[in-house]
Amino acid sequence: MEVDARGLSCPQPIIETKKVVDKKVTSLSVLVDNIAAKENVSRFAKAMKYDVVAHVTDYGWKLELEKR
Amino acid sequence: MNISNEKKSLIVAGVITGIISVALVLLGNPTNMGFCIACFYRDIAGALSLHSAAVVQYVRPEIIGLLFGSMFISTIRKEFNPKGGSSPVLRFIISCFVMVGALVFLGCPFRMILRLAGGDLNAIVGLFGFVAGIVLGSLLLNRGFSLGRSYKQSRVEGRAIGGVFGVILFALIFIPSLLQFSTTGPGSFRAPIIFSLAGGLIVGALAQRNRFCMAGGIRDVFLFRDTTLLTGSVMVLVAALAMNLITGNFKLGFGGQSVAHTDWLWNFLGMALVGYGSVLLGGCPLRQTILAGEGNSDSAMSVLGMIAGAAISHNFSLASSAQGATIGGKVATILGFTVITVLAIVMIRARKREAVHGS
């Protein structure tokens, strides 16, 4: 599963990620293009017990979320 | 207890911000108004003759400092990121209503915290309203409301709002005769320019580094019970409260508070409108200012919308006074809720239709 949160203003990246997480998806990636969205989604994912790995891309970051 | 680095940094930033906020009052700013993003945009609108309420006219250097503090630090940290194009006109309109709500309450969320720290219990009523507005806005976002994506913009677009603020600061220092200055009322209470500007620069840089947002902290607790972001606002409250107690500026109660009224329903609804609009815009007035400094031209539109909203508020007698909310202010608050809600419903429906038709 992939959530494209690029260009969305706060808090939509969290809300769009939450919609997928709520479906009990264990592995997903989230595309973000600004530092606040990266930090917010990472904080949310950790609170939901996901491990987060951030890969730098040309637009910003690709966050890989994996359920612990 | 395991405290994350993010939280530690927010604690330090919150304490420094709280101390600076009270220090600016001791240096001459109005009571509980070391910072008030809404009041300061209103004063700037007055100084530029966009409204003629003689008691609230001054170019507040704090605001200019906040924007430049954010712009400097984001440039140094390579986080300056010019982007925009996400429904600029709708953002302008929503920001106008955020300002209307803030001036019905008499303060932005930042000042709400500072009022609370000064013992002004009307701010608690405002806080409840603010939370209610955030919850309401979050529900709309959950249902699919979005102002749309932003896209990369040129460096010139990203710096443009800085240019505007630079010109206003230049006028303040070198050609003040172009501007209006209050001789009585809140606008006449001001800390020396150098301290106001320095305070703004420091808080602006801290707020940029820590993604300070009065709405964000409450949102995180509401959405996933995380208190990290809220820690920042709580520390501002604690530090400012301690400073007020030490310096004898703490006055507990509802009545007789400075630049405030006791009309509880309109304190509640005014801040609810601020919370509602802020969530849909993606940040409180402070956060909009900081984002504008980072090159976000959608937030720069919000800043311009707030200045216009302040001018409208005073030109049409929508802003409250110590006597309470005005008839116009009450009508405008209800109108704000109506316009934003109708707008959101129309947009959610349109998106659903698009999704069905697959275009």
Residues B264/B122, Cβ–Cβ less than 8 Å? yes
Closest to B6 in 3D by CA, of A41, A61, A39: A39
Please provide residue B280's backbone torsions phi and psi, each rounded to the nearest 5 degrees: -70, -30
Answer whether A52 touches B (CB < 8 Å).
no
Given the structure tokens 């609108």, which residue do they identify?
B45
Residues 6 or more apart whose Cβ sits within 8 Å of residue B302: B91, B92, B94, B95, B98, B281, B285, B288, B292
Say yes or no to pLDDT of B339 above 60: yes
Task: Report pTM.
Answer: 0.96
Between CA B127 and CA B284 the distance in angstroms is 13
Q: H or E stretch including A53?
A: strand A50-56
Q: Which amino acid is at B131?
A: V
pLDDT of residue B222: 85
Give the pLDDT confidence score for residue B358 in this predicted structure.
Answer: 61
Nearest chain A residue to B81, by CA: A34
Would the pLDDT of B5 be above 80? yes
CA distance B71 to chain A (A): 15
Q: Which residues pair with A66 in a beta bridge?
A: A27, A51
Residue B6 has pLDDT above 80, yes or no: yes
B356 vs B27, more confident: B27
| pLDDT at residue B12 tops 60 | yes
Identify the DSSP state of A54.
Answer: E
Provide the pLDDT for residue B4: 82
Q: Which residues of B touch A40 (CB under 8 A)?
A: 211, 216, 220
Rounded CA-CA distance B247/B22 in Å is: 9
Q: How far is A57 from chain B (nearest CA, A)?
A: 15
- The residue behind tokens 């932005």 is B108
Q: How far apart are CA B275 and CA A33, in angstroms?
A: 25
- The token pair at B28 is 């001459």
Q: For residue B2, what pLDDT is reported?
A: 64
Interchain contact, B83 vs A7, CB within 8 Å: yes
Angle at B271 between CA B109 and CA B54, to 5 degrees: 80
Q: Say how many C-beta atoms besides its own lie within 10 A of residue B250's C-beta.
A: 16
3-class DSSP state of B359: coil
Pairing outcome for strands A27-32 and A61-67 = antiparallel
Find the DSSP H helices in B143-282.
155-174, 193-210, 214-224, 228-247, 264-281
Share of chain B above pLDDT 70, in %: 99
CA atoms of B21 and B12, how far apart (whole Å): 14
The residue-averaged pLDDT of B139-158 equals: 94
First to last CA, chain B: 51
- Under an 8 A CB cutoff, do A11 and B279 touch? yes
Residue with tokens 């300002």: B99
d(CA B278, CA B174): 35
Write the single-letter amino acid at B347. Answer: M
State the complex-level ipTM. Answer: 0.92
Give the whole-angstrom CA distance, residue B244 versus residue B256. 17
Average pLDDT taken over every residue of chain A: 93
pLDDT for res B357:
78
Least confident of B48-52, B181-185, B350-354: B350-354
CA–CA separation, A67 vs A31, rounded Å?
17
pLDDT digits over B220-265, tens only? Answer: 888 888 899 999 999 999 999 999 999 999 999 999 999 999 999 9
| pLDDT on residue B335 | 98
pLDDT score of B178: 97
Size of interface A-B (CB pairs under 8 A): 66
In one-letter notation, the amino acid at residue B146 is: S
Residues A43, B279: C-beta atoms closer than 8 Å? no
Q: Do B228 and A43 touch (CB under 8 A)?
A: yes
Using a CB-CB distance cutoff of 8 angstroms, which residues of chain A are in contact with residue B281? 9
Residue B1 has pLDDT above 70, yes or no: no
Query: Do residue A11 and residue B216 have CB atoms under 8 angstroms apart?
Result: yes
Q: What integer is the mean pLDDT of B45-68? A: 97
Q: B209 CA to chain A: closest CA distance, Å?
A: 10
Q: What is the pLDDT of residue B352?
A: 87
Tokens matching residue B95: 């920001």
pLDDT in tens, A4-19: 999 999 899 999 999 9
CB-count burial class (<10 Å; 0-12, 13-18, 19+) for A7: buried
pLDDT level of residue A31 (50, 70, 90 thresholds): very high
Report which of A20, A35, A16, A31 is spatially closest to residue A67, judged by C-alpha positions. Answer: A20
Alpha carbon dihedral B22, B24, B28, B29, in 10-degree steps, equals -80
Q: CA B115 → CA B22, B58, B68, distances in Å?
A: 11, 21, 26
Rounded to whole angstroms, the Cα distance separating B150 from B272 reads 26
% of chain B residues with pLDDT over 90: 90
Answer for the pair B292, B63: CB distance below 8 angstroms, yes or no.
no
Position B144 pLDDT exceeds 80: yes
- The set of residues, in sequence order, having a beta carbon less than 8 Å from that of B76 and lying 6+ positions away, is none
DSSP structure string for B146-183: -----EE--HHHHHHHHHHHHHHHHHHHH-GGGS---S
Axis-axis angle for helices B61-76, B285-293 (nearest 10): 50
Bridge partners (DSSP) listed for residue A55: A62
